Amino acid sequence: MASEKLASDHVERHDSIEPVGNDLEGFTDLKTTTEAHAAIEKEHNMTALQALKLYPKAVAWSLLLSCAIIMEGYDVVLIGSFFAYPAFNMKYGHLMSDGKYGLDASWQAGMTNGMSVGQIIGLFVNGIVSERYGYRKTLMACLASTVGFIFILFFAPNVQTLVAGELLMGIPLGVYQTLTVTYASEVCPVALRAYLTTYVNLCWVFGQLIASGVLKGLVERTDQWAYRIPFAIQWVWPIPIFIGVYFAPESPWWLVRKDRREDAIKAVKRLTRADPNFSAEETVSMIVYTNAMEHRTEQGASYLDCFKGTDLRRTEIACCVWAVQSLCGSGLMGYSTVFYQRAGLAESMSFTMSLAQYAIGVVGTFSSWLFMSYLGRRTLYVGGLAVLAAILFVIGFVSIPESTSALSWTTGSMLLVYTFIYDSTIGPVCFSLVSEMPSSRLRTKTVVLARNTYNILNLVTGIIIPYMLNVDAWNWRGKSGFFWGGLCILCLVWSFFRLPEPRGRSYAELDVLFENKVRTREFPRAKTGLVQSELEGEKGSA
C-alpha cells in the first residue's frame, strides 16, 4: 500500500511526515499484511449498529466480565456511607463531641486507604499474572478469593479487623479495575470500543446504587444485621460471574501475543456471528500486524518499557486521565451521605439523597454514550472538567454563610448536578481513553500504572476528605469545594494541551500517530496511510 502522510497544523504539511507500519519485512508476510489492511479498512467503515449485529457474543461476554466491577463500586460506597450509619458507628465507633457515635478521622482514613493499598497491590500483580496466565484464569482466581475475604468483613469484631479485611478485599478489586476494561477493549471492534469500555463505569455506578439502596433500607435497624447484611450481599455475584468467565473466550490479542494464532482465530469466531462478509482470519491478521508494528519499534513488554520512547507519552496520558478522576473532587461523592449530614440534612434524608445521586449517575453514563457519538472523547472530557470546576466553586460559595436548611438543600442539589456531569463526562470517558492510549503489547501494564496513579492519589484524598468533613477535625463542609475546584482547573489545563482524540481510530492507526509524534490537536485529521477511506474524509464513529 502506498504510504500516506500524517497531518499537522496546516493542510500543506500533510505530506511531510512518513507513516510507520507499512514496512514490516521480517515481521509479517505479505498475506498477513494484505489481510490486516483489509480488516482495518472494514473496521474503519463499520457503524455501531453493524458492529453490534456482527459482535453480539463479544458484547455479551464483555458485559458479563465487566459486572465484576460492581463489587468495587458497592464496597466503596458501603465503607464511605458506614461512617454516617448509626448501627455501624455504635459497634465500631465512640461518642463524638456532637453527641453522636462515630469513628475518628484516622480510622475512617485507615479503612478507606486500606482498600486503596490492597488495590495497588492487586493491580501490580494483575499486570504480571494476567499477561502470563490470561485474563480468564486471573479473573476466576480473584473471584474465588473475594468470596473468602468477605468472611473477614462479615465477622469483624473490631475496627482493626475491618481495616485488614478491606486491605485484602482491595487486592481482587484492583484486578477487576483494569482487567475488565482491558478485556472489553480487546474483544470488540472500533465502533463498539467506547460503549463497552465505558460500560465498566456504569457497572461501578450500579454498585454504588445497590449499596445506597441496601443501606437506605436498613438504616432504621439498630442491631448487628444493619451492617452485616450489606457485607453479606457481596457474596451474591462472584459465583455467577465465575461460571460465566469459565465459559468465556480468551482475548484474541493476548493469544496472539502468546503466538497462538489458531486459538486467536477460534476466539474471534466465538466472539462473532457467522457473516459471509466477515473473516476471522483477517481480524487476527490485523492483530498480528499491529503487534508486529509495535515490535518493529519497541521490543520489551515490562513495566519499565512503559516509560521508554513513544510509550512514555502514551503512559503519561493514560496515567493523567485516570489521575483527573481523583483530583477533580469526585471523592466527595463517595462520602456523599456524610457530606449531606454535615451540610445539615437528617440521616434518613441523607441516604435518600445518596440513592438519588447514584440513580442520576446511571442516567449520566447512558447519556455519555450519546454525547461521545457526537462530541468525541476529548471534547467531552475537557468540557466536563470545565463544568465540574464551576459546580465545585458554587458549592464552596454557598457554604460560606452559617448552615441553614435552604443552604443544605442547595449544597445537596449541587452534588446531584455534579454527579450527573461527572458520570456523563469524566467518569465513563476515562475508561475508554485509558484502554485506547497504550500500545497493545503494553496495554495491561499501562492501564495498571494508570489505575495505580489514581489509587495512590486516592490514598491522599482518603486521608484529607474525612478530615475535611469530620466534625472534630477541619469541619470544612461545603467549603471544601474551593479546594477541589482549584485542582479541577489544573486538570482542565492539562487536558486541553495534552489529551488527544482517539475516536474512530484502530489500534494500528493510533500506533502510527504516536510513533510519528503527531501533536495533540492534530489527531482528528491526521492521515495514517492504513485506511483508504480517510482520503475521502473521516466518517463519524463512536
CATH class of 52-248: mainly alpha
Phi, psi dihedrals of residue 390, rounded to the nearest 5°: -65, -40
- Contact partners, residue 469, CB within 8 Å, separation at least 6: 335, 338, 339, 342, 475, 476, 477, 480
- Predicted confidence at residue 294, as pLDDT, reads 77
Which amino acid appears at position 526 of this protein?
Answer: A
Please determine, for residue 237, whether its predicted confidence score (pLDDT) is greater than 90: no
Query: 226-230, 255-259, 465-469: which has the minimum mean pLDDT?
Result: 465-469
Give the percent of the chain with pLDDT over 90.
Answer: 43
The DSSP result for 397-440, as a single string, is HHTSSPP-HHHHHHHHHHHHHHHHHHHHTHHHHHHHHHHHSS-G
Domains 52-248 and 306-527 share a fold: yes
Contact 355, 212 (CB under 8 A): yes
Question: 451-506, pLDDT tens digit by residue?
Answer: 999 988 988 887 788 788 776 778 787 788 899 999 999 999 999 999 999 998 88
The distance of Cα 449 from the centroid of its chain, to the nearest Å, equals 13
* Dist CA 140 CA 143 (whole Å): 5
* Mean predicted lDDT score pLDDT of the chain: 84
**Per-residue pLDDT band at 403 (split at 50, 70, 90):** low
By the 10 Å C-beta count (0-12 exposed, 13-18 middle, 19+ buried), 132 is classed as exposed
- Predicted confidence at residue 94, as pLDDT, reads 77
Please determine, for residue 22, whether its predicted confidence score (pLDDT) is greater than 60: no
Which range of 29-38, 467-476, 514-523 scores highest in mean pLDDT? It is 514-523
Please determine, for residue 6, whether its predicted confidence score (pLDDT) is greater than 70: no
**Per-residue pLDDT band at 18 (split at 50, 70, 90):** very low
Cell numbers of 141, please? Answer: 482466581
**Per-residue pLDDT band at 401 (split at 50, 70, 90):** confident
**Which runs of consecutive H residues, i.e. helices, occur in 134-223?**
135-154, 159-187, 190-218
376: left (phi over 0), alpha (psi -120 to 50) or beta: left
The DSSP result for 242-254, as a single string, is HHHHHHSPPPHHH
**Per-residue pLDDT band at 97 (split at 50, 70, 90):** confident
Higher pLDDT, 267 or 83: 267
* In the block, residue with C-alpha cell 456511607: 81
CA proximity to 434, closest of 204, 172, 181: 181
The distance of Cα 66 from the centroid of its chain, to the nearest Å, equals 11
CA proximity to 256, closest of 266, 248, 241, 247: 266
Domain coordinates in residue numbering, the chain: 52-248, 306-527
By the 10 Å C-beta count (0-12 exposed, 13-18 middle, 19+ buried), 443 is classed as buried
In this structure, the strands spanning 94-95 and 101-102 are antiparallel
Residue 268: C-alpha distances to residues 188, 189, 210, 246, 265 (Å)? 10, 11, 34, 17, 5
- Predicted confidence at residue 168, as pLDDT, reads 94
Query: 84-93, 95-104, 205-214, 511-520: which has the minimum mean pLDDT?
Result: 95-104
Question: 316-356, pLDDT tens digit by residue?
Answer: 999 999 999 999 988 877 666 666 666 666 777 777 777 88
Residue 357: C-alpha distances to residues 79, 385, 416 (Å)? 17, 19, 5
Contact 236, 259 (CB under 8 A): no
- Predicted confidence at residue 13, as pLDDT, reads 37
* Dist CA 539 CA 535 (whole Å): 11
Q: Using DSSP, how many helices (H) and how many strands (E) does the chain show?
A: 23, 2
Contact 233, 95 (CB under 8 A): no
Q: Which CATH number fits domain 306-527: 1.20.1290.10, 1.20.1250.20, 3.20.10.10, 3.40.630.10?
A: 1.20.1250.20
Question: 170-191, pLDDT tens digit by residue?
Answer: 999 989 988 999 999 999 998 9
* Dist CA 460 CA 194 (whole Å): 30
* Dist CA 22 CA 115 (whole Å): 46
The DSSP result for 309-341, as a single string, is HHHHHHHHHHHHHHHHHHHTTTHHHHTHHHHHH
Biggest CA–CA distance in the chain, Å, is: 77
Cell numbers of 37, please? Answer: 489492511
Residue 421: C-alpha distances to residues 355, 362, 381 (Å)? 17, 11, 10
Contact 283, 414 (CB under 8 A): no
**Per-residue pLDDT band at 107 (split at 50, 70, 90):** confident
Contact 36, 289 (CB under 8 A): yes
Please determine, for residue 23, whether its predicted confidence score (pLDDT) is greater than 70: no
